[in-house]
Chain A
Amino acid sequence: AQSVAQPEDQVNVAEGNPLTVKCTYSVSGNPYLFWYVQYPNRGLQFLLKYITGDNLVKGSYGFEAEFNKSQTSFHLKKPSALVSDSALYFCAVRDYSNTGKLIFGQGTTLQVKP
Chain B
Amino acid sequence: EAGVAQSPRYKIIEKRQSVAFWCNPISGHATLYWYQQILGQGPKLLIQFQNNGVVDDSQLPKDRFSAERLKGVDSTLKIQPAKLEDSAVYLCASSLAGSGYEQYFGPGTRLTVT
Q: Taking beta carbons and an 8 Å cutoff, which residues of A are in contact with B?
A: 32, 34, 36, 41-46, 49, 51, 90, 92, 94, 97-102, 104-107
Contacts and interface: CB of A to CB of B under 8 A. Distances in A.
Q: Is the interface of A mostly helix, strand, loop or mixed?
A: loop
Contact of B100 (A36, A42, A51): A51
A46 B95 CA distance: 11
Given A97-B56, A104-B43, A107-B41, A43 B100 contact: no
Contacts, number: 57
A72 B110 CA distance: 34
A43 B103 contact: no
Nearest to A6: B42
B42 A99 contact: no
A51 B100 CA distance: 7
B108 interface: yes
B106 A43 contact: yes
A72 B49 CA distance: 30
